Amino acid sequence: MPIFLLTPLSDNEREAAEIVSSKIEERDRYAVPDGRSWLISFSGTSVELSNHLGITGFPESARPSLSSVLITSVGSYYGRASADMWEWLKTRVEGVR
């Protein structure tokens, strides 16, 4: 299943946390230790995830659930982080839960 990184681009971390936790099942989200970003396992595209979260894809008269958010697809990964983050990523990328 595709993995996405959702990163707020303004001071809206609290709102982003509320939206992500209410719209994405706990097993399909991982709070990145920076306290701002989330890894999300989602079966659609980045646009479909944005629409699912209410960031885009709503009537012009409605307000978005969040503004100034970046959603990127994770194609590969590398770095230093906790073992549980690497395990979460590995199991989602490989489709094993």
- Select from 93, 91, 6, 19 the least CA-distant residue to 46: 6
pLDDT in tens, 6-22: 999 988 888 999 999 99
d(CA 41, CA 7): 14
Per-residue pLDDT of the chain (97 residues; tens, 9 = 90+): 899 999 999 888 889 999 999 999 999 999 998 888 999 999 999 999 999 998 888 777 778 777 789 999 998 989 999 999 999 999 998 886 6
Q: Report pLDDT for 18.
A: 93
Where exactly are the structural domains of the chain? 3-93
